[in-house]
Amino acid sequence: MNLTKSLGKSLGKSLETSLDKLRDKVLSKANSAMLIFSDINISYLSAFTGHAATILLTSKANYLLTDYRYFEQAKEQATDFKVICRDRANQSLASLIEELLFHDDCQTLFFESEHISVMQWQQIHQQISQQTKLSEIEPLSGAVEALRFIKSDTEIALMEQAAKIGDTALATMLNSVKVGVTERELAIELDYQMALLGSEEVSFATILLFGERSALPHGIPGDRQLKLGDIILIDFGAVVNGYRSDMTRTFVFGPASAEQKHVYQLVHSAQQAAIDEVVEGVLGSHLYQQSANILLNSEYKQYAGEGLGHGVGLVLHEQPFIGPDCHTAIEKGCVFTIEPGIYIPGWGGVRIEDDVVLTDDGLKIITKSPKGLIELSAAKSNT
């Protein structure tokens, strides 16, 4: 059995635990139910990786509602759920939900209000208000996301595998760096290398920018050609079993100028200052402040990025969002990025980003590519 399949089986066990925790937290009241609409949350709780699905949890059963396109897949993947295939031509989603709520004698219903449109909810609400025994219908935000905040050992292992793909793909792609190559060409090569190594997709649209364009924090690779002296900023990630990596590295093509070295060292020191403070219970705002103390006391303070990092997992950006107003405490098992940056319009930008996780043995850096300023050779480029 290969590593991914083995991790997939272990992941199933952790999903069962998450489902049990959600039921204990939300459905502790008798005759209660919860509707889950988010594709990511549905996948997290059930292991179903398709679309066009809704989860209904009641005090009596776990239901996954889908249609003929995903019915067989859902039965195979969502083994802890009763999978129901809705006849879209003859039954609305609202009427199916109403039928199940009535059957299970539900009196209280919670729903993911942030993951459904007003129009869709109005249709469901009208149906269930008229036909069921419900006495309470309440929006409930962030219940599943709160469970996703702490990753299991299996989830962390999947993210480590994604990060390793990214590390290896980057090292290979750097051999294609040469005068005249375009941002788009290198970005495509990096994405291709990740795919060859087993990445299901890119974690997000790869950011790969040269020279003055590296000052665009989320710039789109274009036809800008590489020339000697350019900064090369690369922000990218791989995906394994739905779990993502996210890493940024900054290089210089040819000898770095004194200013490039200075800016790079400031960002490197700012990142390390935050890394050194990661302990259980530390607030995100404290980590931000340690980094900001270096960047905001430099001559480049007006060009410093506003945040420090974010959680990462099944989606690229999730809790915690680390910045000056982040009052979330870091806990063991929380995977997040630390990514300070300086972005100078017309000159260029420097960002260094790593995925980190707090473990019983302290902080672990998941992304492994070298972080010292690397001056890529025009003749041969590698790490």
Q: Is the pLDDT of residue 379 over 90?
A: no
Give yes or no: residues 113 and 176 share one domain. Answer: no
Same domain, 161 and 143: no
166 lies in the same domain as 140: no
pTM for the model stands at 0.91
Asked if 350 and 282 sit in the same domain, the reply is yes
248, pLDDT greater than 80: yes
**In a shared domain, residues 53 and 175:** no
What pLDDT, on a 0 to 100 scale, did the predictor assign at position 381?
Answer: 45
pLDDT score for 152: 94
Show the domain range for 372.
149-376
Digit-coded pLDDT (tens) for 62-108: 999 999 999 999 999 999 999 999 999 999 999 999 999 999 999 99
Q: Under DSSP, is residue 123 helix (H, G, I), strand (E, B) or coil?
A: helix
Identify whether residues 60 and 171 lie together within a single domain: no
pLDDT computed for residue 133 by the predictor: 79
Token pair for residue 312? 């990462």
- d(CA 39, CA 52) in angstroms, rounded, equals 8
* 382 located within any domain: no
Tell me whether residue 381 is in a domain: no
Q: Reply yes or no on whether the pLDDT at 10 is more than 70.
A: no
Q: Is the pLDDT of residue 186 over 60?
A: yes
Structure tokens at 214: 């590296």
Verify that 95 and 129 share a domain, yes or no: yes
Q: Whole-number mean pLDDT of the chain?
A: 93
Number of domains in the chain: 2
Determine the 3-state secondary structure of 249 from DSSP: strand
Count of beta carbons in the 10 Å neighbourhood of residue 300: 18
Residues 259 and 314 in one domain: yes
Query: Crossing angle, helix 153-173 and helix 3-26, to 10 degrees?
Result: 140
Structural domain contains residue 362? yes
pLDDT of residue 197: 98
Q: Can you tell me the distance from the alpha carbon of 362 to that of 282, in angstroms, rounded to the nearest whole number?
A: 13
CATH of the domain at 72: 3.40.350.10
The 10s digit of each residue's pLDDT in 19-39 is 999 999 999 888 999 999 999
Lowest-pLDDT range of 66-75, 118-127, 158-167? 118-127
Residues 131 and 158 in one domain: no
Q: Does the pLDDT of residue 204 top 50, yes or no?
A: yes
Which of the listed residues 96, 127, 147 is the one where a domain comes to its end?
Answer: 147
Mark which of 132, 147, 162 sits at the end of a domain: 147
- Report, as an integer, the average pLDDT of 8-29: 78
Q: Is the pLDDT of residue 366 over 60?
A: yes
Percent of the chain beyond pLDDT 70? Answer: 94
CATH of the domain at 186: 3.90.230.10
Q: What is the mean pLDDT of residues 344-364?
A: 97
Note the pLDDT of residue 131: 66
Confidence band, pLDDT 50/70/90 cuts, at residue 134: confident
